[in-house]
Amino acid sequence: MSGGGRVVAVFDLDGTLTRRDTLFPYVWHYLARRPWRLARLLRVLPAACRYLFDGHDRGRLKAALLRHALGGESRAAIEAWNERYLPRVIARGLLDDAVHVLEAHTTGGDLLVLMSASVDLYVPALGRRLGFERVICTEVRWNGETLDGALASANRRGEEKARCFEALRAQHATARFVAYGNSGSDLAHLQLADRGVLVNGSRRARREARALGVNCVQWRGTWRARR
């Protein structure tokens, strides 16, 4: 498959397009409407404590959150929640500057790819609403129509995200790649792009980005969806 000289624009989600994380609010607000499930969060504490001590395995923590908080829910219930949650993200959770950059790539006819460590319970649906042609994200296991919650893929973060990025480049060998991310872990794939852009990075991440030849920008403003 050839990219035909096209520009491929790869966007991270949380903290790049959006003002903050989307996964925990997704879970928390779902539980808030089902308060009898809130006690399940106590089962996440062992994984949270392990993460606090070693700070490495975010995938294990993510799986524990999903399995204990949402495990057993039906696909229909999750899809119904997406219909409530995602419009709120688009209406109030996007960065204004991010929307303008996304619109510029759309106008330019670029191939839009959303690549996120967040999960496929909602990221593909959000990507479609924002006009992305392809979505790469962490996959979650289902048992038929019932959510298991364990991860069905590697956590798409850091070196795993870089691996996905390299596979994407191989599929579009003649394309020029522009990539946007917001964290130090995103530098693993931002440095592989023809133009990597670190958005609203920490001081340490900006220092590391400059050493790798990755551009640093500040995106501000809360997007208000047109009504």
* Position 51 confidence tier, pLDDT thresholds 50, 70, 90: low
Is it the case that residue 4 has pLDDT exceeding 70? no
pLDDT of residue 47: 66
pLDDT of residue 36: 83
pLDDT of residue 46: 72
Tens-digit pLDDT profile for residues 91-102: 999 999 999 999
pTM above 0.95, yes or no: no
- Tokens encoding 96: 């204004």
What structural domains does the chain harbor? 7-217 (3.40.50.1000)
Report the percentage of the chain scoring pLDDT > 70: 93
Cβ–Cβ < 8 Å for 11, 180: yes
* Position 224 confidence tier, pLDDT thresholds 50, 70, 90: low
pLDDT of residue 207: 97
- For residues 102 and 223, which has the higher predicted lDDT (pLDDT)? 102
Report the percentage of the chain scoring pLDDT > 90: 78
* Position 5 confidence tier, pLDDT thresholds 50, 70, 90: confident
Is it the case that residue 179 has pLDDT exceeding 70? yes
Is it the case that residue 212 has pLDDT exceeding 90? yes
DSSP strand pairing (111-119 vs 195-199):
unpaired
What distance in Å separates the CA atoms of residue 161 and residue 134, rounded to the nearest whole number? 15
